[in-house]
Structure 1
Amino acid sequence: MTRTIIINTTGSLHRALRLGLYLFGLMGVATVGFFAWQSFYPVSAATGWSIQTVHSDVPKAASLMPLPDGSLMISQELNDAKGSIVRIHPDGRREVVVGSLSKPDGMFATHGGWVFSQETGNAPVSFLKDGVVTDLFRGENVQGLWVEGDDLYAIEDRKDNGRLLRYRWSDQSLTVLRDQLHEGESITRCTDGRMLYTEKKKGVIRELTSDGSDPVVLTGLNKPTFLMCDERGLWVNEDSTHRARLLLIDKHGQQQTILSFLKAPQSIVRTGDGTYLLAEGGRNRVLKLVRKSLAMASDDAQH
C-alpha cells in the first residue's frame, strides 16, 4: 500500500512573508526615527559656553553681518530667485534690502557698501551701496568672499573644477589664482597672517601661498565650510545636514568642539560685545554663542 504525504507550505510561506514585512517595517521606522532624532536633537555647547536662539524663521540663513546700530544683515540662501538679503533691526523689524536672488551666500562689508555672491551657475558677484546694486564679475557657484584693500577674493563651490578668484577694484581685472578645487567654500585671513581656504569635498583646509604649494593645515574634517579667525584661533563650521560641529583650533593647534548636533551651519561672526552669532541654515535660525564668563560679567554689571 502506497501512502501519499502532502505537506502544506502555504501557511509557512504566509508566516515568513508576514515576518519579513514586519521586520522591514520595523527597520523603516527605526531609520526614520534615527534621522528625526538627528534633526531635532538639541544643539549641545561645550563646557564654559552657552547657546540661545536670537532669530528664528530665517529661511536658509547663510552669511551674517552685524551693523553698528545693532541691526543684522542676513543672506537667505533660497534658490530660483527666491533668495534675499534681509536686515533685522534692533526692534525685530525685518527689511528686504535686496530681493529676487538665487542662493545669495557670501557677504563682506567694503568700500562703504557690501559685496555679495550668489551660489548658482554664472551668477554675478555684486556690490550694494546706497541702495544701488552693481555687478562686478561673474563666477560659477561663488560662495565665500574676502576683501583686503584693492583685492576682492572669491571662491567657487564646484565639485571638481572650482576656482579661487581675485578681483581688483582699481582696474576691474579678474585673475584665476587656483583652479580644479573640490568644493571650495570659504576664504579668510587669520591674525597670524595666513590666508586659508576650504575644500569641503576633501575635508581639508589649505593655506594660500605665493609659491602655489598651498599646504594642508587641517585634514579629516567633516565637510568644512565657513572659516573665521580671531584672537581665540580658527573657527570652522561643518556643512553637514546631521550632527555638524563648530570647531575651534587654538594657536597651539589644539582642536575643541564648541557646538555639537548642528544642522548645516553656515557663517559665524564676532559681535561688538565679544559674543558670536552663528547662522544655522538647516534649522532656519540664528544662534548666539556666549562664553559663560562673559555672560556672568554682564549679569553682574546689570545688578
Structure 2
Amino acid sequence: MGKSLNNINQAKKRARRTLKCSLALAGATVAVAAGFFAWQSFFPVQAASGWSYRVAYPKVPKAASLALLPGGAILVSQELREGRGSIVRIEGPGDHHVVVGQLSKPDGLIPARGGWVFSQEVADKPVMFLKDGQTTPLFEGSSVQGLWDDGDDIYAIEDRKAIGRLLRYNWQDKTVTVVRDNLDEAESITRCTDGRMLYTQKGQGVVRLLADDRSDPVVIADLNQPTFLRCDERGLWISEDSTHRARLLLISPQGQRQTILSFLKAPQSIIATGTGSYLVAEGGRNRVLELTPTP
C-alpha cells in the first residue's frame, strides 16, 4: 500500500511539473506573439531609395481623406465612429478647426464645384456637399467610402461585403445610376490620366478596371488590403489598409511596381501638395506624413 501511495504521489508531482512547463511555454508563446505585434506597431516607417518622409501633422485622430486648400492648409476627414468623426481644417501642427462635426466614419472627401463632397462609411448616410460652410445632401448610399468627381458626375463606391454598389450621381438632373452591384469590399475609385477608371476590392487584394463590357478584369493583384487609389504623372498610387506592415505602392506607367513606404499602419489617402511632395494620411498612427522625392 505504501509503495502504491508513493507511486501516486510521484505521478501527481510529475503531472504538476508538466502542467507548469506547459503553462510557462504557453506564456512564453503569448509573450513572443505580443512582442512581435508590438514590434510591427512601433517599427518606424521605411522609405524607398530616392524618397524621404517626415511627420507633417501629428495628432490627427483616424486621419483618412485629405484635400488641399488655397494657401497651404488642408482638410482631413477624421474617421471616428458614432458621431465623433469630423472634417477638420489644419493650418499647421496643432492648429485644427472643425469644419463639420458629429459625423460617423467620414471617409471620402473630394473637391467639386467650388466645394467638397464627402461620405460617411456607415449605413444609410447620404453623400453630402459642403460649400461656404453649408452642407447639403446629394444622394443616398450605404457605407460609401471612395468618391470621384468626373466633372458632370460623382462616382461613389460602397464598402460592403458582397452587396456593395458603384453609384453615379449626375449633377445636372440629380439622378443616381447603379453602375455596378454585388461588389465585395470595394473601397476606392479613380480615373487615371490615360482615361481608365479603376477600383479596389480590399478582401480580394486586387485592383479592377471598370470595363465597358462589365467584365472588370483584374489589372493588379497580390495586394494586402488595398484601399486608396490615386493616379498622376508618376503612375498609380495604392495604399494598403493593413494595421501591420502596410505599404504605399507606386505602379509606373510601364507597369513596374515599387514600394515607396513600408511598415505603415493603416495608411489611407495620398494627395500632391503642388510643390513636388505628397501628403499621406496614416490613420493607424493618427498622423499625416509628407513624402518627398530626394535628388
Common topology (TM > 0.5)? yes
Select between 229-238 and 83-92 the one with higher mean Cα deviation: 83-92
CA–CA distance in 1 between the matches of 2:96 and 2:236? 31
Residue-by-residue CA offset, 1:251-270 (whole Å, 9 max, x unaligned): 11110111110000000111
Q: In structure 1, what is the equivalent of residue 86 of structure 2?
A: 84
Question: Alignment partner of 1:12: what SS?
Answer: helix
Q: Which of 238, 241, 265 matches 1:239?
A: 241
CA–CA distance in 2 between the matches of 1:254 and 1:275? 21
Question: Alignment partner of 1:89: what SS?
Answer: strand
CA–CA distance in 2 between the matches of 1:116 and 1:124? 9
Q: Which of 168, 171, 174 matches 2:173?
A: 171
Once the two structures are superposed, the pairs formed by residues 173-252 of structure 1 within 5 Å of their partners are: 173-252=175-254
Question: Alignment partner of 1:251: what SS?
Answer: coil
Q: In structure 1, what is the equivalent of residue 98 of structure 2?
A: 96
1:148–1:3 CA distance, 2 compared to 1 (3 A)? closer
Q: Is the aligned partner of 1:271 residue 2:289?
A: no
Unaligned stretches of 5+ residues in structure 2: none
Q: Which of 111, 114, 137 matches 1:112?
A: 114
Matching residue's letter, 2:247: R
C-alpha root-mean-square deviation of aligned residues, in Å? 1.3
Q: CA deviation at 1:237?
A: 0.3
Q: CA deviation at 1:180?
A: 0.8
Q: In structure 2, what is the equivalent of residue 59 of structure 1?
A: 61
Residue-by-residue CA offset, 1:221-273 (whole Å, 9 max, x unaligned): 11111000111110000011110001111011110111110000000111110
Q: In structure 2, what is the equivalent of residue 258 of structure 1?
A: 260
Q: Is the aligned partner of 1:159 residue 2:154?
A: no
CA–CA distance in 2 between the matches of 1:178 and 1:147? 17
Q: Give the TM-score taking structure 2 as reference length.
A: 0.96
Matching residue's letter, 2:103: L
Q: Which of 35, 39, 42 matches 1:40?
A: 42
Select between 74-83 and 200-209 the one with higher mean Cα deviation: 200-209
1:16–1:270 CA distance, 2 compared to 1 (3 A)? same
Q: In structure 1, what is the equivalent of residue 71 of structure 2?
A: 69
CA–CA distance in 1 between the matches of 2:98 and 2:156? 24
CA–CA distance in 2 between the matches of 1:104 and 1:128? 13
Residues matched between the structures, number: 292
Q: Give the TM-score taking structure 1 as reference length.
A: 0.94
CA–CA distance in 1 between the matches of 2:111 and 2:3? 91
Q: In structure 1, what is the equivalent of residue 33 of structure 2?
A: 31
Q: In structure 2, what is the equivalent of residue 145 of structure 1?
A: 147
Unaligned stretches of 5+ residues in structure 1: 294-303
1:125–1:258 CA distance, 2 compared to 1 (3 A)? same
1:167–1:34 CA distance, 2 compared to 1 (3 A)? same
CA–CA distance in 2 between the matches of 1:272 and 1:252? 24
Q: In structure 2, what is the equivalent of residue 296 of structure 1?
A: none
Check whether the contact 1:70–1:90 (CA below 8 A) recurs between aligned residues. Answer: no
